[in-house]
């Protein structure tokens, strides 16, 4: 497939990995965070970690939108979904994310009208088709998915659809990364910047990393050679004493971002003063809420959600994994009490979750190695 197979060339991947190895200084340990969960899955699916010298450690970051939602927000979504007048819609990943008393798939089995959709426009269509029901869309995601929610709300307002609302949980990428950089728990050398988010916001928002913290950042695509090239670009920066933002994913990511999408977001959303993140606590201006001009469509106002905090199960260490303090396999319940079939935490559920990546790819690799020894 054009523009895919070119980025999965094994011979070229080995050549890039060899060049990376020549840039690694003897005795130096490099710690690079891939912010996006999609990058984590590429790294383990294609065995990229095994191509790199042992001196280079890749650390996963908080770039999985399903994973960072605190349990309290999951519970509030369930509370709305249980109302008899509501058709509750969400993306597939959210169906199995555990709250304190179950998940959306379980309450659907108990009679709640919960439906998986592929787009907020699917939810808006359901509102048109069911004028006697209230249709709520569970909006999640970073700036990647926020424009589609914004455009859907603009259309709902234009059409005068009154039985549609959005439970908004959109978050932004820069504040949690800044919070990690301010944390004394984690010492990082550089960042692999998220590709999907950057198609919307561009590369300029990451300039605080080199300017304020002296950390290089390379925005990367999602194929194996994208990841390897981004690591090579980082290693060149470190070897040459440079510190800047570079765009490896220039075939998709414009430096200034998608201006039309940003305009729609600016009209429909505003920043929340504070928002709770799983594992990171409350972070100022790190999430979006529906603006006053669209408040009629705000499910938080329509259903008076209380904003209750709920702690994660004590055995679950999702917070430490999200911060990069622990590797998934270091969690005490990984692969035993917590599996994709019976997840205790969101990181084992999501298609971008680090725990799911380790379980589905990293653990299988270990078992394969063990079988051949």
pLDDT at 280: 82
80 vs 228: CA distance, rounded Å: 44
pLDDT at 362: 67
pLDDT at 363: 52
Looking at per-residue pLDDT, the higher value among 120 and 369 belongs to: 120
* Summary mean pLDDT of the chain: 90
Token reading at 52: 């790199």
pLDDT at 365: 42
Lowest-confidence region among 167-181, 282-296, 301-315: 301-315
- Residue range 38-70, pLDDT digits in tens: 999 899 889 998 999 999 999 988 888 888 888
pLDDT at 178: 94
pLDDT at 242: 96
- Local confidence band at 293 (pLDDT 50, 70, 90 cut-offs): very high
**CA distances for 243 relative to 180, 234, 237, angstroms:** 18, 9, 6
Beta-strand ranges (E) seen in the chain are 30-36, 56-63, 86-90, 114-116, 134-141, 164-170, 190-193, 217-219, 245-247, 269-271, 274-277, 281-284, 288-290
Mean per-residue pLDDT, 340-363: 77
Residue 5 above 90 pLDDT? no
- Residue range 195-206, pLDDT digits in tens: 999 999 999 999
- Residue range 224-242, pLDDT digits in tens: 999 999 999 999 999 999 9
Domains and CATH numbers, the chain: 5-62+185-247 (3.40.50.11750), 67-173+259-302 (3.40.50.11740), 318-372 (no CATH)
Mean per-residue pLDDT, 243-250: 97
Residue 129 above 80 pLDDT? yes
Quote the DSSP letter at residue 25: P
- Residue range 171-181, pLDDT digits in tens: 999 999 999 89
pLDDT at 338: 84
pLDDT at 372: 32
């Amino acid at each position: 497939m054009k523009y895919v197979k070119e980025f999965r060339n094994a011979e070229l991947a080995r050549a890039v990995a060899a060049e990376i190895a020549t840039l690694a200084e003897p005795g130096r340990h490099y710690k690079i965070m891939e912010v996006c969960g999609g990058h984590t899955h590429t790294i383990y699916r294609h065995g990229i970690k095994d191509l790199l010298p042992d001196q280079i450690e890749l650390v996963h970051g908080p770039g999985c939108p399903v994973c960072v939602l605190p349990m309290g927000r999951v519970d509030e979504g369930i509370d709305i979904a249980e109302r008899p007048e509501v058709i509750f819609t969400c993306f597939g990943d959210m169906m199995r994310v555990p709250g304190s008393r179950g998940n959306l798939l379980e309450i659907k089995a108990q009679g709640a009208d919960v439906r998986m959709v592929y787009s907020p426009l699917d939810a808006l269509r359901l509102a048109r088709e069911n004028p006697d029901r209230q249709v709520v869309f569970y909006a999640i995601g970073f700036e990647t998915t926020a424009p589609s929610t914004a455009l859907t709300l603009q259309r709902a307002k234009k059409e005068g659809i009154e039985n549609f609302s959005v439970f908004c949980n959109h978050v932004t990428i820069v504040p949690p990364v800044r919070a990690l950089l301010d944390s004394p728990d984690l010492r990082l050398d550089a960042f692999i910047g998220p590709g999907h988010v950057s198609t919307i916001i561009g590369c300029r928002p990451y300039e605080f990393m080199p300017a304020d913290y002296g950390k290089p950042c390379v925005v990367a695509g999602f194929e194996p050679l994208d990841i390897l090239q981004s690591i090579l670009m980082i290693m060149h920066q470190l070897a040459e004493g440079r510190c800047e933002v570079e765009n490896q994913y220039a075939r998709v990511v414009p430096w200034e971002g998608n201006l039309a999408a940003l305009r729609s977001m600016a009209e429909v959303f505003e920043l929340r003063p504070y928002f709770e993140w799983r594992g990171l606590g409350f972070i100022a201006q790190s999430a979006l809420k529906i603006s006053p001009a669209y408040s009629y469509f705000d499910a938080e106002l329509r259903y008076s959600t209380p904003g209750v905090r709920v702690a994660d199960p004590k055995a679950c260490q999702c917070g430490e994994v999200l911060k990069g303090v622990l590797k998934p396999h270091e969690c005490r319940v990984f692969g035993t009490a917590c599996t994709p079939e019976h997840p205790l935490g969101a990181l084992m559920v999501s298609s971008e979750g680090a725990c799911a990546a380790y379980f589905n790819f990293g653990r299988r690799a270990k078992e394969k190695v063990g079988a051949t020894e």
